[in-house]
Amino acid sequence: MGFLYFCKMNSELKLTEDGSHTLFVPEIDKCYHSSNSAIQESRHIFIDARLKQCQKDDICVLEVGFGTVLNAFLVLVEAERSGEKNEKKFK
């Protein structure tokens, strides 16, 4: 289910077990991210399994759906943490 679906429903913010938030729709008992760890889920999928595995010198990041902005935010945090935000890897 997409982000817009969750926005159109009567969604509410729910605190996940790692202290991050996700959207929760009580009528269908579904969360947008993992109810255990929204940040851990996004870091695993977008940072550890993709970004850190990339062997290219230049990386362009395109966030199409934007959703809760969590994935784009974590890429920015990783770029700043690694010191490559304004160097060769991230554009």
DSSP string, 36-47: S-HHHHHIIIII
> What pLDDT was estimated at residue 76?
84
Which residues are within 8 A (CB) of 70 and not within 5 positions of it... i.e. 6 or more apart? 20, 33, 38, 39, 42
pLDDT digits (tens, 9 = 90+) for 54-76: 777 777 777 776 667 788 888 88
> What pLDDT was estimated at residue 25?
86
pLDDT digits (tens, 9 = 90+) for 82-91: 775 444 455 4
Strands (E), 1-91: 12-15, 21-25, 30-31
> What pLDDT was estimated at residue 86?
47
> What pLDDT was estimated at residue 7?
60
45/37 Cα distance (integer angstroms): 12
CA 88 to chain CA centroid, Å, is 23
pLDDT band at 77 (very low <50, low <70, confident <90, very high): confident
pLDDT digits (tens, 9 = 90+) for 1-55: 555 555 666 788 888 888 888 888 888 888 877 777 888 888 888 888 877 887 7
Q: Which residue has the tokens 């851990």?
A: 40
DSSP type of residue 27: T
**For the whole prediction, is pTM greater than 0.85?**
no
